[in-house]
A and B are shown apart, each in its own frame.
Chain A
């Protein structure tokens, strides 16, 4: 069957100052198809689509709809041409109900009648298989519900072309399946669907054709059925990329951090962590999976001392070097006893059991200082300040949604940001700028951070580079526990792999790595164990080598309805 062209972009060029975001891009969209626009971060996917949605205006080029040239200079023009875009960061008014959001900005046809709108919204939801209460306020909704509102908003305006920007980034596997089912229904309905993504598996699963962008240029458009993951990556990155994440076997894995029965309430007295218990081991990556807002942030903040605990313990175990046994603390009897229990060694890997030795021989041996034992320090982090916790080597490299929100100061340069961790050093009130500068230079070189220099404000770097600066700085201070939340959020394949590699290096050097991630494929490939959070409680800790995506997805959602309802009542 010959498909009809719905939309054409010809020679589209867009510049932001000296940066060329799109360079003569051509793109065709047919009716009744799902087109994936694939590319790394900063390749101009979103910019290109924003020009269809009327957010940006192209500097050069033409846009044709059904063969006719059109000018889209505002979002309203886009709606008039039946184009609707669902942005990555939802554009919804939290305080309004779903229905109010949906009719927002519509021209006044007849009376302002919300009841009628509620009925119409429910009808659209039913047609495409959504579940949505039109009278629910957006701030009470889950991410997936918000996305539903966005999609219905676009459909309500009669859009024939839907553009979805990274629609799956925040959804669970089950929700993604549901979304894809809806998209297929729209396709059958004759609508054109464009999804912007950098996840290859989704491209292959749902799209009919794939357009690949690289550095603002259109590389190729291929039929999904005729391509492969490797081919797509190669076109996307411009070179062959190894797509497997290393997972070295943990060596000398020793418990580092014990979290016991942790409970936490937020400012509004809603319980955000419920009886959390787990152990993080050195030389191991512990993944934390869960729907956004299940308590990941609070858990990491609690460990680093930023949240006052309701109850529970966080015990940090700090293995010390070998210490010689003395009779200062222990009696002869106790020393012999401990020896029989394999507590002592001679520093060359041999145990000292004192077997068959007389008391005087034992005394002589011990006093010569050749009998050693490992002394562990256990410290309850509960009573420590965040600074003390940091000095123990528990480092939080927190990368929240807003990349610059925690950890880095956007308007300060790289050196100054390094100094945020070392400002207490230096003599008599004067700052030592030399070492932080050297560190900044070292991080730039080792992590291949693209920046004009160490004195560039961090805000001006691209997202990937910002994250590398943050992770690089935390690693530079030789942590014993490294916590990274969403360190690859929004990063392209190359930068993501650099970060994975960094985490693996830390793991191999004996650091206990806690990795909060959102992409289950990555969690399964990178981590040794995965802890699943659900509504602030641990619903399972699974072995990442044997677990499946579906298993984790279920753990992420299994008691959602009960927990959700309870949380709302509180």
Chain B
């Protein structure tokens, strides 16, 4: 019984990485920008948060303040990356794909440099318990759902509410669908694009922070982060550009990822050495399958924003 619960909780917790990444990417894509820099941004979000904890880890600040400052550090570092992306693609109208890829390489590299400067004892060993709820300490598995997990769910639900239930969301979606239309009705297209890209970047960054400090809670965690950035982008398509659906998608992905480490513990199941790599391959194979399945749907509402990837210039004819 306990194995199944552990398996599920672990998958849920792992999924939070993707919830942040995908929600951030959805916000950006809804403004018409395909940000392939998300892996790099998540890396920088992780680095930013860890460096902030490194700075305050030894101080006598109260626990909740440490948590908040850590989150802020992560968010701001990732938002800066979003700002670079926005400046290049919105103001200078650089090619979005190239900019994004460059940003990923840049972010992943810079993170490795920065993380070498940080002391794992200070940023990790001390603060990591602060991100867990003390009352959830009853069982091993439930405590894994910490502050950052619930924040991820809240952010995804809030993002959906803003996008589909408010005027700001309507305007933002209009910018991504047809910037010329949005412009003609007096929406400040540039401002919306900047805001969405920066907020999206910041949110995605939290995913990296969560992965290093909470889910993995190890000093080597940052080395495996980049791949999950790519999966977050793929998950956007799975979630049909709806942030609340990323919760579902992330859980499915989480299950597939955790599957290889839990399956051997299930009574009556034996896993040969040869089967292990196959199990580890599962999430990626499913990603490809999902991409195939989702690309054959043709309902208008489930398509990417119409002007995704296109720069907007008002006086262009």
Q: Which residues of A contact B (CB under 8 A)?
A: 53-56, 74-76, 78-79, 85, 87, 91-96, 100-101, 103-106, 108, 112, 137, 139, 153, 268
Per a CB cutoff under 8 Å, which of A76, A104, A108, A139 touches B181?
Answer: A104
- A/B interface sample: 29 pairs, CB < 8 A: A53-B184, A54-B186, A55-B183, A55-B314, A55-B315, A56-B315, A74-B186, A75-B184, A75-B186, A76-B186, A91-B178, A91-B180, A91-B184, A93-B173, A94-B177, A95-B173, A96-B177, A101-B181, A103-B167, A104-B171, A104-B174, A104-B181, A105-B174, A105-B182, A105-B185, A106-B167, A112-B165, A112-B170, A268-B298
A53–B180 alpha-carbon span in the complex (Å): 13
Contact with A along B278-317 (1 / 0, CB 8 A): 0000000000000000000010110000100000001100
Asked if B167 and A95 make an inter-chain contact with CB atoms under 8 angstroms apart, the answer reads no
Cβ–Cβ < 8 Å partners of A54 in chain B: 186
Cβ–Cβ < 8 Å partners of B182 in chain A: 93, 104-105
Asked if B185 and A153 make an inter-chain contact with CB atoms under 8 angstroms apart, the answer reads yes
Asked if A94 and B170 make an inter-chain contact with CB atoms under 8 angstroms apart, the answer reads no
Nearest CB on B from A135, distance (A): 14
Cβ–Cβ < 8 Å partners of A95 in chain B: 173, 177, 300-301, 306
A91–B175 alpha-carbon span in the complex (Å): 12
A55-B314, A75-B183 given; name 8 further pairs at CB < 8 Å: A53-B184, A78-B186, A93-B173, A96-B170, A96-B177, A104-B185, A105-B182, A108-B167
Asked if B167 and A112 make an inter-chain contact with CB atoms under 8 angstroms apart, the answer reads yes
B187 at the interface (CB under 8 A from A): yes
Cβ–Cβ < 8 Å partners of A92 in chain B: 178, 181
Asked if A75 and B174 make an inter-chain contact with CB atoms under 8 angstroms apart, the answer reads no
Asked if A105 and B301 make an inter-chain contact with CB atoms under 8 angstroms apart, the answer reads no
A166–B161 alpha-carbon span in the complex (Å): 39
B95 at the interface (CB under 8 A from A): no
Asked if B178 and A93 make an inter-chain contact with CB atoms under 8 angstroms apart, the answer reads yes
- A-B complex: 9 closest residue pairs judged by Cβ atoms: A76-B186, A105-B185, A91-B181, A105-B187, A91-B184, A93-B177, A112-B167, A75-B186, A105-B186
Contact with A along B98-130 (1 / 0, CB 8 A): 000000000000000000000000000000000
A56–B316 alpha-carbon span in the complex (Å): 11
Per a CB cutoff under 8 Å, which of B171, B184, B306, B314 touches A94?
Answer: B306
Per a CB cutoff under 8 Å, which of B166, B171, B298, B314 touches A105?
Answer: B171
A94–B171 alpha-carbon span in the complex (Å): 14
Asked if A87 and B177 make an inter-chain contact with CB atoms under 8 angstroms apart, the answer reads no
Nearest CB on A from B66, distance (A): 37
Most buried by B among A55, A101, A104, A268: A104
Asked if B187 and A104 make an inter-chain contact with CB atoms under 8 angstroms apart, the answer reads yes
Q: Which residues of B contact A (CB under 8 A)?
A: 165-167, 170-171, 173-174, 177-178, 180-187, 298, 300-301, 306, 314-315
Chain A, Cβ-Cβ closest to B176: A93
Chain B, Cβ-Cβ closest to A47: B317
Asked if A79 and B186 make an inter-chain contact with CB atoms under 8 angstroms apart, the answer reads yes
A87–B298 alpha-carbon span in the complex (Å): 29
Chain B, Cβ-Cβ closest to A108: B167
A85–B185 alpha-carbon span in the complex (Å): 10
Nearest CB on A from B296, distance (A): 11
Chain B, Cβ-Cβ closest to A53: B184
Asked if A87 and B184 make an inter-chain contact with CB atoms under 8 angstroms apart, the answer reads yes
A75–B315 alpha-carbon span in the complex (Å): 13
Cβ–Cβ < 8 Å partners of B171 in chain A: 104-105
Chain B, Cβ-Cβ closest to A109: B167
Nearest CB on B from A79, distance (A): 6
Asked if B181 and A93 make an inter-chain contact with CB atoms under 8 angstroms apart, the answer reads yes
Chain A, Cβ-Cβ closest to B303: A95
Cβ–Cβ < 8 Å partners of A103 in chain B: 167, 170
A105–B314 alpha-carbon span in the complex (Å): 17
Nearest CB on A from B283, distance (A): 31
A76–B165 alpha-carbon span in the complex (Å): 23
A85–B180 alpha-carbon span in the complex (Å): 13
Asked if B300 and A94 make an inter-chain contact with CB atoms under 8 angstroms apart, the answer reads yes
A372–B122 alpha-carbon span in the complex (Å): 104
Nearest CB on B from A45, distance (A): 14
Nearest CB on A from B312, distance (A): 13
Per a CB cutoff under 8 Å, which of B166, B174, B315 touches A93?
Answer: B174
A92–B185 alpha-carbon span in the complex (Å): 10
A75–B179 alpha-carbon span in the complex (Å): 13
Chain B, Cβ-Cβ closest to A80: B186
Cβ–Cβ < 8 Å partners of B166 in chain A: 112
Cβ–Cβ < 8 Å partners of B187 in chain A: 104-105
A76–B186 alpha-carbon span in the complex (Å): 4
Cβ–Cβ < 8 Å partners of A74 in chain B: 186
Asked if A55 and B173 make an inter-chain contact with CB atoms under 8 angstroms apart, the answer reads no
Most buried by A among B171, B173, B181: B181
Per a CB cutoff under 8 Å, which of B185, B300, B315 touches A139?
Answer: B300
Nearest CB on A from B49, distance (A): 34
